Amino acid sequence: MPKFVEHSRIMRILIVDDEPVALMALDHALRETGHEVDAVDNADDALRILKNGMHRLVISDWIMPGTDGLQLCRGIRQEELPGYVYFILVTSRDGTDSIVEGLSAGADEFLPKPIDPAELRARVRAAERVLSLETRDLAIFSMAKLAESRDPETGAHLDRVRGYARLLAEHIRRAGLDRHVDGEFLRLIYVTSPLHDIGKVGLPDSVLLKPGKLTSPEFEIMKTHTTIGARTLEAAERAFPGVGFLRMARDIAQHHHERFDGTGYPDGLVGDGIPLSGRIVALADVYDALTSKRVYKPAFAHEDARQMIFKESGQHFDPFLVEAFRDNEKQFLQIRSRTTASEPVVV
């Protein structure tokens, strides 16, 4: 029977240390609190295990032969993992320089040696609180689904768009064209891209659900969903300054209808002046709209949609993203097939 049960839920924790005695002591202390523990004696095995998505908390010694704890932490932050991994660095080092070095590598918390069991439990509870914030991802997607629910014909649109968006972002990361496109960027664009049309909750049904072509005045109303969505997310950002996902969500909501040549809306931004997240979602959103049935049109075949996108390279779309689409067409089709239960894939 666990001696201490001071946490809200059982976690599966990965511990990393090349010293068997230290590993056993840490394992024992964590199991006493009721947690599940896996242990490895090197950083390379730890990184490989983390890719299965079973562990959300890592407690690692700093000093190890080969790849040390600091390098392990950097490796985790550079990977696209299924969820955020909270990283506690165990060290005998002290002083500001060591703390700055650890935090710069992406460590969330430190544990001094020798480890005090009470402090260990406190650090783990802090990790639980931070990780519980990922329920925001569910809340975000639920908000997006609420907006989408007003239009019953969009089907799995949100699921597909976020899959396409992450695929394009992955291509940018592999090409090394933007140092800001890392594992965290990939996770955020996957989470926030479903909010691109959140502003549609503010549109009248007569416009949003009209079964036919919009008049010019109606289209002007439709265009306001970008600014309505951006204002909503800006209000949340003011309440919670520095929250990265709100900033990206706002950029996507406001700018996913901008065009690379500056003829889009609402701000008429040009080229790289359009936030990268907005440029990515613009292509993902249009591809899905083209290949999906709507009240005003049938679904286009993939071949027809791809030709339309190629034709708009440098006009509607960022040319590099069009190339990324070209290089990943097979994966686009796989995402569409996987997220479309009842609609046939038209190739």
Number of domains the chain is built from: 2
Beta strands of the chain (E only): which ranges? Answer: 12-16, 36-40, 57-61, 86-91, 109-112
Q: Which of 93, 112, 132 is the last residue of a domain?
A: 132
Q: Which of 104, 132, 160 is the last residue of a domain?
A: 132
Residue 81: CATH number of its domain:
3.40.50.2300
Give me the domain span that covers residue 231.
135-339
Residue 3 lies in a domain: no
Radius of gyration of the chain (CA): 23
Same domain as 121, residue 270: no
pLDDT in the model for residue 340: 67
Average pLDDT over residues 118-146: 76
pLDDT in the model for residue 131: 80
Q: Which of 99, 115, 132 is the last residue of a domain?
A: 132
Residue 85 lies in a domain: yes
Same domain as 202, residue 85: no
342 to each of 148, 305, 332, 339, how far by Cα in Å?
18, 20, 17, 9
Share of the chain above pLDDT 70, in %: 86
pTM above 0.75, yes or no: no
Residue 91 lies in a domain: yes
Same domain as 203, residue 303: yes
pLDDT at 154 over 90: no
Same domain as 103, residue 77: yes
Same domain as 95, residue 197: no
**Separation between Cα atoms, residue 322 and residue 135, nearest integer Å:** 33
Same domain as 284, residue 185: yes
pLDDT tens across 43-99, in order?
999 999 998 888 989 999 999 999 999 999 999 998 878 778 999 999 988 778 888
Same domain as 218, residue 99: no
Same domain as 190, residue 75: no
pLDDT tens across 129-141, in order?
778 666 566 667 6
pLDDT tens across 62-75, in order?
999 999 999 999 99
Least confident of 5-19, 146-160, 202-216, 299-313: 146-160
- Beta carbons of 318 and 283 less than 8 angstroms apart: yes
Same domain as 178, residue 107: no
pLDDT tens across 162-174, in order?
999 999 999 999 8
> 3-class secondary structure for 30-89?
HHHCCCEEEEECCHHHHHHHHCCCCCCEEEEECCCCCCCHHHHHHHHHHCCCCCCCEEEE
Same domain as 309, residue 167: yes
Pairing of strands 36-40, 57-61: unpaired
Residue 256: CATH number of its domain:
1.10.3210.10
Helices (H) and strands (E) in the chain, counts: 16, 5
